[in-house]
Amino acid sequence: MGYISPLDDRYYEELRDYAAMVSERAFVKYRLRVEVLYLDFLIDILSKVGLVKPLTREEREKLLSLRFDDDYEQFKEIEDRLGHDVKAVEYLLREKLSGVGLGRIAHLTHLGLTSEDVNNLALGILIRVTIYDYLMPELNTLLSTLVTLMDRYAGLPMLGRTHGQPATPTTLGKEIAYHACRLTYWLNVIVSIRLQGKISGATGSMASFPMISDGINWPQVLSNFVKGLGFEPALVTTQILPPDSLTQLLTSIGLMSQALINLAQDLWIYNMLGYLRIHGKPIGSSTMPHKVNPVDLENAEGNLKLGSSILMEISRHIQVSRLQRDLSDSTIKRNIGLGIAHVILGVRRLNAVLSNIDVNEDIINKDLNEHWEVLSEAIQVRLRALGMADAYERALMLFRGSRMGIEDYKRALGGLGIVDDVLRELGPGKYTGYARELTMNCINQCKYTLELIGTKINDEINTLKSLGFLGQ
């Protein structure tokens, strides 16, 4: 058998469990489960106004215990016959109901709904599964590892580089903190987004529901059903759900991925400089035996780029749907799981690297102490503060383009006629400002976010389990 995507071949074993939860088969199961929950809800509502007989406890248990693990081929046969996937879902459920002795309610399946009422809710479930059962745990691990590294190296002085050139010293912990705080920002954005959902009929007017009964406040009860599935009910729709909450979510994941690319690239450069040694699978050169390439970082970068591109292109496209409905978004939305899969792979590679790196403090210190010229900023700022009006210009003549050791630095101070003890006692390793304090502040913020994300993951997973979408 041939495969088009490497996710179905090269990376399949790594993504086997994920694939089972986001595949087309899974999407069909989510739609069937939405139909089951809606049918249970509908019978309860209609029984209260005397239109149908309520379900007995045994009947309700039969309905809610329906499983669809082995029904995909039957679904495909029905779809091929009808030419409509959601109608095939409806007909398959009717057959299942009759098969377990619930034929009396089979005619109520999908009553009042349009296809998109089922699809938007099932897709929202699929996305929540991908994010909270797979992506968020990986990101939580990544942030936790960054916290450990920040704490360990908060005070380790390191040569800064701006434009790739030696610059004001920093600390390794602070540079890790920069990336950790960016990740924290995006995690908080992502978990704050509550996907919308809707049941509103063929053009969003709920026109079919008064035909069932005009004695029911349908906007209210349908809103309650959508809320019960964990979605924010959309106030006004066309046939489709307004895409904005979904596009915000996918775009945020895409932009977070771009931020993580920045982390992967910085780690790659630190590895090149010898500051870090990356362990892992020793993949080298086919011709140069001495090499060990940082392939996990490069793989992380590639997957994050591809995942981000897919998700942001999906977000761009689905923002527009002609009039009350066009189907151009349908095939595009089916690739959401693909985009998130690449992001998950990228994050996993980062986790593999960061959980098993060595920091070479000797090389970091050696590099820093070979560049005393980076103290030129300290000199010109200190002297201006003490009243030397042309301190920058004088320092410029001595330091620009130079590379200094400690003796060169002392001679430069003498050339400027400096007798200031602060500058005499200064060294590159002491010129790190508030880097350590800033790092510790970031650690506190990250720990708060880790607790928040952990709670959100647990809440979402428990909701999805209670509704029967997970743990079946």
Catalytic annotation, residues:
163, 285
**Sequence letter at residue 25:** R
CA distances from 295 to 8, 264, 299 (A): 21, 11, 6
Helices 435-466 and 172-192: angle between axes, nearest 10 degrees: 30
What HEC string does the chain produce? CCCCCHHHCCCHHHHHHHHHHHCHHHHHHHHHHHHHHHHHHHHHHHHHCCCCCCCCHHHHHHHHCCCCCCCHHHHHHHHHHHCCHHHHHHHHHHHHHHHCCCHHHHHHCCCCCCHHHHHHHHHHHHHHHHHHHHHHHHHHHHHHHHHHHHHHHCCCEEEEEECCEEEEEEEHHHHHHHHHHHHHHHHHHHHHCCCEECCCCCCCCCCCHHHHCCCCCHHHHHHHHHHHCCCEECCCCCCCCCCHHHHHHHHHHHHHHHHHHHHHHHHHHHHHHCCEEECCCCCCCCCCCCCCCCHHHHHHHHHHHHHHHHHHHHHHHHCCCCCCCCCHHHHHHCCHHHHHHHHHHHHHHHHHHHCCEEECHHHHHHHHHCCHHHHHHHHHHHHHHCCCCCHHHHHHHHHCCCCCCHHHHHHHHHHCCCCCHHHHCCCHHHCCCCHHHHHHHHHHHHHHHHHHHHHHHHHHHHHHHHCCCCCC
What are φ and ψ of residue 159, in 5° steps? -65, 130
